[in-house]
Structure formats: C-alpha cells, structure tokens
Amino acid sequence: MTHPRLSRNDVREFIDTVVINDPDDTAVKGFLIGKEIDDSKFTNRPLDAAVASLLDDCKDQRNSALEVIEARHSGNVYVAIERFGDEALGDEEFWSYLAVRYFWRFISYRQASAWRSAQGEPSDPEEPESEKAKLERYLRGHDHYQIPLRMYLRAQAVRDGDDYALTDIDGGGTDFWRSQVLGVRTGAYPSLARSVARAQSLAQLNVEDQRPPGRRVNRLRANLDFILHGDAEAAAAIDGLWMVTDDDAARAGVKKTEKASKAAARKSAKTR
C-alpha cells in the first residue's frame, strides 16, 4: 500500500490541533508532514486545478450560493479524482487525506457552521460536540457526507459520458442529492439516478415533498435491480412516481395539523 492516508484519529487530530487555530496552507502542509505523509508520487495537477477553480468561484459568495458551486464543479473533481488508482480510491482513509490535503478550505466555506464550532464558536452553544462531529463527517471518507466523495459520487451517478449537466439541475439542493440519490442505492445505478434527477428537475419538489416519491422509488428499487436498464427504461419505470399525489398531500396535511397541535400543547404547557 503506497497511497497517502489519514485514519479517523488523524482526522480528529487535524480538527483539534489545526482547524482550531484558523489554519492556512502552510499549517495544513505541516500537519501532513508531521504525519510522515510522502505524497510526492501522488501529485494530481488536474485536481490542483479543479480545486483552485472551485475556490476561485467561492470568492465573495454567500453560503447559499455554495451548493450550486459545489454542483457545478463536481464533474471536474470527478474526472481529476478518477486519475488516482483504484486501490487508493477504494480506501476511505485515502479520501480523508484528499479532504484535508485538497478540500480543507472549501469545507471551511461550505460547512462554515461546523468549522466554526470546531474553533470553539458553535452556532448552538448547547450542542458543540454534535457540530464538531459533523465536521469530522465532512472530512472522513467514510460515506457520502464527505465533501470530495459526495462531489465524486454525484458526478458518477448522473454523468452521461463526458456530459455532467445533470449534476446541477434546478431543484436539486443538498437534501435531494443526499437523501434521494447518494444516500440510497439509486446512486449506484446511473440510468435510474439520471431519471430521478431529470424528474426532480421538472417537478422541483421541495425537501418535504421529495420524501413520499423518494420512498416510492426506494420501494421499487428494493424489488428491481436496475443494472439492465437503459435511460428510457429507467424513466418509464419511475414514470408517475416523482410527484405529490393526493394521498401524499392529505398525509402531509395530517402531519402538519399534528405538528401544530403538538406545538400548541407544548406552548400551553410552558405558559402554565
């Protein structure tokens, strides 16, 4: 095994000793040197360029614009990361290294609240540890929460050859990708992922409204393997699923009423 890697404890150490001190590139490099990571054979100029371009686009942007920027750059990041060997890509600790080495600054912008929390300024003073744990999740290559991995997975899921247009569909916010594509096995079947992304692009359902159709797609996928499906067949299979049905609307209405009455009960209990 020759590729650079950072263990979970290394990531924690990075948060506790580097993030906390408002780092710059030199501090991050120093941390990697301290971990005796020799990545001289793992240079990746396309990734350097992709990340530089990503950071360039982030300049002077509000946090709300970063989701679109992340989406737009997913294709470039995917292409660059694909240059690393399979053995490295199949190691979550290599991805943790990628996050620290290349993406730490983007993570500090994109997940600013978790980043600040790790620096001792939690947005919710009652939950400092939970915010910090979130930052660890954005840095560790364990699952689709991690920033470079989720960019890679998003592009991989919906790319059509060299065309990455579906990575930044209208209406495809963070929750859509995390809950409906990358966090479920839909992301493993590109024809299905593309069909769901296209359907969401047309329907532009909000997060709450995505849940019932998301469940319908998951249920369908539990019984079907989409390995044999082309795009047209996958689209036909989910035809009529990605929408808010009368039943969904009625259930959402009941839930809203229940929520409102619970909130009212809590309020009245407090005032008593």
Partner 1 sequence: MAYEKRGLRPFDALDRTQAKLRQMVRVQSPPIPDGFQPPLGLLGVTLVGVSKGSIAAHGGTLLLDRDEYMSAPVGLYFGVNDDDWLDLTNTVGYELDEVFGSRSTAPVNVVVTVANARLKQVHQVINLSFNDWVNESWRHRLAKGGDNKNRPRPLRMPDDGCTIWVQFLLNSDLPRSQRVLGRPWRKGSWLARAEVRVSAGRGTGLAPRPLNSETRARFGLGKYTSTFVEMRGDLSGLCMTTDLSQFLTVYIDDELLHGAAEMNDRGDHVRGAGAALIGRWVMDTYRALIYGYSRDDQLDDFDPAIDEHKQTYLYSLLSQIEDANLVGIDEALLILRDNPTQFAGLIEHVLAMKASDQSLLELRR
- Enumerate binding residues for partner 1 (CB under 8 A): 1, 8-9, 86-87, 89-93, 130, 133, 136-137, 142-143, 153, 156-157, 182, 185, 187-189, 216, 219-220, 223-229, 233, 237, 241
Comparison of 118 and 153: residue with beta carbon closer to partner 1? 153
Comparison of 23 and 213: residue with beta carbon closer to partner 1? 213
Nearest approach in angstroms of CB 137 to partner 1 is 7
Of 213, 203, 208, nearest to 255 (Cα)? 208
Nearest approach in angstroms of CB 192 to partner 1 is 9
Comparison of 206 and 245: residue with beta carbon closer to partner 1? 245
Nearest approach in angstroms of CB 173 to partner 1 is 20
Taking the C-alpha atoms of residue 225 and residue 167, their distance in angstroms, rounded to an integer, is 23
Q: What are the contacts of 218-227 at 24+ separation with CB within 8 A?
A: 218/184, 218/186, 221/184, 221/185, 221/186, 221/189, 221/192, 226/189, 226/191, 226/192, 227/189
Comparison of 28 and 181: residue with beta carbon closer to partner 1? 181
Nearest approach in angstroms of CB 223 to partner 1 is 5
HSE-CB at 147 with a 13 A cutoff on CA atoms is 28
Of 134, 137, 164, 135, nearest to 152 (Cα)? 164
What lies within 8 Å, CB to CB, of 120 at 6+ separation is: 20, 128
Comparison of 72 and 216: residue with beta carbon closer to partner 1? 216
The token pair that represents 236 in the structure block: 């036909």
134 and 165 Cβ atoms separated by less than 8 Å: no
In three-state secondary structure terms, 43 is coil
174 and 67 Cβ atoms separated by less than 8 Å: yes
Comparison of 28 and 107: residue with beta carbon closer to partner 1? 107
Nearest approach in angstroms of CB 91 to partner 1 is 4
Nearest approach in angstroms of CB 45 to partner 1 is 23
